Amino acid sequence: MSGPDSFHLTAPDVVRRVIREAAQAHGVKPAEIVTGGPSRRFVRPRHMVAATLYEMRRPCGKRKFSLPQIGAWLGGRHHTTILHAIRAHEKRREGRA
């Protein structure tokens, strides 16, 4: 099974919470972040989710989620797409974009 329905069966609660919060902050639906296209309306919250999840750490200091895991939860996107999303979000946060 794939798509937004399977997402809710496989993603940890923390992932669903981060997506829900980003959706609320940007005025879109959580499913639109996961399955939405290249519109800026969906891309910016998706970038925020990718960066937030990637920055999460386990108590031992290791990253909690890998790029491929994050990509799978964000609509099956390739890990390099997630890396681009994280870098783009960082640029925007620093005011360089």
What residue spans define the domains of the chain?
A: 4-94
To the nearest whole number, what is the mean pLDDT of the chain? 89
Helix (H) / strand (E) element for 45: namely: helix 40-55
Q: What is the mean pLDDT of residues 40-45?
A: 95
Query: In which band, very low, low, confident or very high, does the pLDDT at 36 lie, cut at 50, 70 and 90?
Result: confident
Q: Above 60 in pLDDT, residue 7?
A: no
pTM, to two decimals: 0.85
Amino acid in position 76: G
Residue 72, token pair as written in the block: 């799978």
Q: What is the DSSP letter of 23?
A: H
Mean pLDDT over 83-94 rounds to 96
CATH number of 4-94: 1.10.1750.10
57 by DSSP, 3-state: which? strand
Top-confidence range, 2-6, 7-11, 34-38: 34-38
